[in-house]
Amino acid sequence: MYIYTSDQIKLVDEEAANKGMSTFTLMENAGSGLFRAVTSLLCGGEKIAILCGKGNNGGDGIVLARYLKIAGMDVDLLLPVGEPVTNAAKQHLDYYQNLGYTIEDFNEEVKYDVIIDSLLGVGAKQPLSNPIKKLTSWANEQSAIRIAIDLPTGVSADHGKVDEATFRADHSLHLHGYKPACFLFPSSEFFGEKHVIGIGLAHNSSWKVWRAADVRSLWNEAPQNAHKGSFGHGLLIAGSNSMPGSAALAAIGAVRTGIGKLTIQTTPYAAAIIAHHAPEATYHFEPHMDELLSFDGVAIGCGLESTDELETSIQRCLTEELPLILDAGALSKRNYRLPDRKANVIVTPHPGEFARMTGQTVQEIQMNRLEVASQFAKEQQVIVVLKGQYSVIAFPDGTGIINTSGNEALAKGGTGDALTGMILASILRMKNDRAAIANAVFLHGACADMWVENNGRSSMAAHDINHLLPFVLKKIIGGTAKGGNYESSDMDEKRNSEASRMCTHKCSEIYGE
């Protein structure tokens, strides 16, 4: 579940060749892996077209065609832009023909059940040539299952920009690992369901995709002798008279994720509202907190406007060796780099906030999410959690994580506040900030995934995370959570009964149980 840029893939191939694995062998490995993946997607009896280009991506398609032919499947190998020019692809074509198999002429009148795009690989440049555009446009117009090998033609591996005639895949089969474009915009819309195909090489990427299995293996469960001090005392500086709900949602996220103790610095008016939702918290009403060292971590910004007073609080927190999470009103275009600070600073912007922080446009950020987040993390020596579909977690050392849980049900005000509280609790529980942040982001998205199993996406509200999270934790991590144990109101009981029902419905398919 690793991610590679086009340059990294080239280096992987070169390193494999230097160690004795030829391009011919890699192509054979790719073709056999593609065969297993393609046949798992089909019912049998389909008429299949493989559109092969002149390079090594086309060579992968040639090997795939051979395996399909040997298996007795009805497949046409098409070379609509000419025969291959790379040595390995030529060799595989020769072998294909020596077995008695033929190359078919491309005829746009022929109807296929499956069209496989093996035209261009990771080295392709935009814009597409006119002959390629005609092929991809034809493919997109067909009533067929469309499968892309490595990348849909028209997508560049490393950024989100796409050609106007980009092949629109229903499935994409990624050799050795994902490419950044899988998680960028608008390119991610063209990949369909993503599958990774191993080609016999070891992994050395510094970026990976976080999965439920990672959460499960790295989550710290409470020892039998645990007490409230075992999982940290967090400070949440959040909420105002005009936005008390933001602090309430962050508090709920922290409590539900298992924080040991929570203190909220807010206004008396906001505290009265927050306490109804998170009675476990204690409160502080002075504008500044002097005893910061009595806490194990701080989150600041939810429900606060950017003011001089808030900036003073941020600077005060930056002087202490405590993990610090900055969200919402605490995010601005400032210099975060503090050479002597050992504790992590974590910034959690959505694309609009990150645009203000970096001076780039939202479109530029969305097309280059991994690159811009990583660059900012390295320059400012902070951890960046760039929210949105395929949330990016970038670390100061140049490594990173992509989160694939979640959906557009989270595109609501307040969901980011809940995430801030979840991150605070997670880093205090785990002491390993990298895994803690990734786990919190995954669990946050998993709540939305659970919701849409039985509800419309648009109907989810941020406070539903309160009721979904215990059941998500139960399914992914294990534990003793049971439905129907909330007694605050009839509405709470109804929501939790529904959450429990949702939890048992197809969750084993989603989370691998």
Question: Is 50 exceeded by the pLDDT of residue 435?
Answer: yes
The CATH architecture of the domain made up of 2-205 is: 3-Layer(aba) Sandwich (3.40)
- Per the model's pLDDT, the better-predicted residue between 470 and 486 turns out to be 470
> What pLDDT sits at residue 490?
39
> What pLDDT sits at residue 509?
39
Tokens of 406: 């979640």
> What pLDDT sits at residue 293?
75
Whole-number average pLDDT of the chain? 90
Residue 222 DSSP one-character state: P
Tally of CA atoms within 13 A in the half-sphere of 362 that contains its CB:
7
What is the helix, strand, coil percentage profile of the chain, to 5?
A: 45, 15, 40
Tally of CA atoms within 13 A in the half-sphere of 261 that contains its CB:
13
The CATH architecture of the domain made up of 213-443 is: 3-Layer(aba) Sandwich (3.40)
Question: Is 90 exceeded by the pLDDT of residue 494?
Answer: no
Q: Of 111-120, 171-180, 327-336, 341-350, give the lowest mean pLDDT range.
A: 327-336
Domain boundaries, the chain: 2-205, 213-443
Tokens of 55: 């390079």
Q: Which residue has the tokens 């400012």?
A: 380
C-alpha torsion angle, residues 364, 369, 374, 377 (rounded to 10): 80
> What pLDDT sits at residue 478?
77
Helices (H), 290-350: 308-318
Q: Please name the amino acid found at residue 48.
A: I
**Rounded distance between C-alpha atoms, residue 499 and residue 288, angstroms:** 39
> What pLDDT sits at residue 481?
38
DSSP reduced 3-state for 94: helix
Residue 333 banded pLDDT, cuts 50, 70, 90: confident
Q: Of 71-85, 224-238, 479-493, give the lowest mean pLDDT range.
A: 479-493
DSSP state string for 41-89? H--S--EEEEEE-SSHHHHHHHHHHHHHHHTT-EEEEE-TT-S--SHHH
Question: Please, are residues 423 and 391 in contact by the beta-carbon 8 Å criterion?
Answer: no
Question: Is 90 exceeded by the pLDDT of residue 471?
Answer: yes
**The three-state (H, E, C) secondary structure of 479-508, written as one string:** CCCCCCCCCCCHHHHHHHHHHHHHHHCCHH
% of the chain with per-residue pLDDT over 90: 80
DSSP reduced 3-state for 395: coil
Q: Which residue has the tokens 């067929």?
A: 144
Question: Is 70 exceeded by the pLDDT of residue 7?
Answer: yes
Listed residue (364, 449, 365) closest to 404, CA to CA: 449
The predicted model gives 194-208 an average pLDDT of: 93
Q: Of 419-428, 438-447, 479-488, give the lowest mean pLDDT range.
A: 479-488
H or E segment and range at residue 473: helix 464-476
Question: Please, are residues 118 and 58 in contact by the beta-carbon 8 Å criterion?
Answer: yes
Question: Is 60 exceeded by the pLDDT of residue 380?
Answer: yes
The predicted model gives 301-313 an average pLDDT of: 92
The partner residues of 49 in beta bridges, in order of sequence, read 76, 115
Residue 340 banded pLDDT, cuts 50, 70, 90: confident
Residue 109 banded pLDDT, cuts 50, 70, 90: very high
> What pLDDT sits at residue 225?
64
**Rounded distance between C-alpha atoms, residue 510 and residue 513, angstroms:** 8
Q: Of 93-102, 383-392, 405-414, 485-494, give the lowest mean pLDDT range.
A: 485-494
> What pLDDT sits at residue 341?
87
Neighbouring CB atoms inside 10 A of 158's CB total: 20
**Rounded distance between C-alpha atoms, residue 401 and residue 210, angstroms:** 6
The predicted model gives 421-440 an average pLDDT of: 95
For residue 185, CA distances in Å to 123, 155, 189, 399 come to 19, 11, 7, 21
Residue 220 banded pLDDT, cuts 50, 70, 90: confident
Residue 227 banded pLDDT, cuts 50, 70, 90: low
Question: Is 80 exceeded by the pLDDT of residue 184?
Answer: yes
**Rounded distance between C-alpha atoms, residue 90 and residue 149, angstroms:** 18
The predicted model gives 387-393 an average pLDDT of: 97
Residue 507 banded pLDDT, cuts 50, 70, 90: very low
Residue 228 banded pLDDT, cuts 50, 70, 90: low
pTM higher than 0.85: yes
> What pLDDT sits at residue 60?
98
Tokens of 256: 């539900």
DSSP reduced 3-state for 314: helix
The predicted model gives 189-208 an average pLDDT of: 94
